[in-house]
Amino acid sequence: METETVYLNGDYVPLADAKISVMDRGFLFGDGVYEVIPAYSGQLFRLEDHLERLDKSLRAIRLQNPHSHEQWLNLLTPLLKKGLDQSVYLQITRGTAPKRDHAFPQNVTPTVFAMVTGITPHSDPDNGVKALSMEDSRWKLCDTKAITLLANVLLRQAAVDNGCTEAILFKDGYLTEGAASNVFAVIDGILMTPPKSSAILPGITRDVILEIARKNNIPCSEQAISKADIKKASELWITSSTREIIPVVELDSEKVSGGKPGPVWKTFYKLFQEHKQSLR
Ligand code: PDD
């Protein structure tokens, strides 16, 4: 088997040789941020948008970006395989400190890590996934892509324990997002998603879908969506860079869109693939 090469602090090394100190603040505190960037046929998709979001996440945790956008492109490109659809995971932590102290250490070099995995978008027009609605138990900085993901992990696991693919989260009776995805609903013929706020991660896939809708004159709206609204939805989707657009066909054991991917999902699946194709 071919050994996977990853990037760690300036070196490209086999995954098994990529080691960091147990004093790394990512390990001790979850003190870091990350990005997940899809690459189609070896070309990074919406790289600039992902790097701008990375800049915002780093500003939010008061950490300087160790690399310019051009340096990131040069750093990530050697990890990609030509012709393959993959996703890049990159993470930056505050680095390794001499002692465990919550306050920031002085003069510490951030730890930079990147690796690549495959992408498996949902393409089955006859089947979708099940989801579980749950109270959003996360913190108030959900627009920061922090590696501190324990709440997301527990929420997703509760969904998996119930035979579901994703947890769909509600805060004070209103939809926020999925444990690792944004959520769209088709309600009264309009494609809706909650507006950007600190309660959700501003997904890049979310932006792409809204752009596709507007370009094709498909009615869409960024608005607050209540639990009662969701019950009326004729379609429900979850979206992310690694999974693109997945139709949810069952929420809390109740069928959505008759238990099959709906017509609006089918349209967007096609438009999204065409959009990807146009970039190849
Ligand atoms: N997660 N909301 C949350 C909480 C997420 O974790 C993600 C993606 C999204 C979708 O964002 P984007 O379309 O930019 O991927 C929304 C990544 C894929 C992850 O954590 O692996």
Structure tokens given for 183: 């959520």
For ligand 1, pick from 153, 182, 237, 242 the residue to mutate: most ligand atoms within 8 Å of CB.
Answer: 182
For ligand 1, pick from 181, 197, 205, 238 the residue to mutate: most ligand atoms within 8 Å of CB.
Answer: 181
Is the CB of residue 204 less than 8 Å from the CB of residue 49?
A: yes
Quick check: is 215 catalytic?
A: no
Distance 274 CA to ligand 1 centre (A): 22
What number does CATH give the domain 129-278?
3.20.10.10
CB under 6 Å to ligand 1: residues?
A: 36, 177, 180-182, 201, 203-206, 239-242
DSSP 61-81: TT---SS-HHHHHHHHGGGSP
Structure tokens given for 273: 């693939």
Nearest CA to ligand 1 atom 9: 181
List 130, 145, 232, 255, catalytic entry = 145
The pLDDT of residue 2:
59
Report domain 5-118's class: alpha beta
Sign of CA dihedral 46, 179, 193, 172: negative
Between the alpha carbon of residue 153 and those of residues 114, 158, 159, 167, the distances in Å are 21, 9, 10, 10
Secondary structure letter of residue 103 according to DSSP: S
The pLDDT of residue 276:
86
Which residue's entry shows tokens 């379609």? 235
Is the CB of residue 177 less than 8 Å from the CB of residue 137?
A: no
Separation between Cα atoms, residue 174 and residue 194, nearest integer Å: 9
**Domain boundary assignment for the chain:** 5-118, 129-278
**Whole-prediction pTM:** 0.97
Q: What are residue 10's phi and psi, to 5 degrees?
A: 95, -10
Give me the tens of pLDDT residue by residue for the chain, a chain 280 residues long: 456 999 999 999 999 999 999 999 999 999 999 999 999 999 999 999 999 999 999 999 999 999 999 999 999 999 999 889 999 999 999 999 999 999 999 999 999 999 999 888 888 989 999 999 999 999 999 999 999 999 999 999 999 999 999 999 999 999 999 999 999 999 999 999 999 999 999 999 999 999 999 999 999 999 999 999 999 999 999 999 999 999 999 999 999 999 999 999 999 999 999 998 887 7
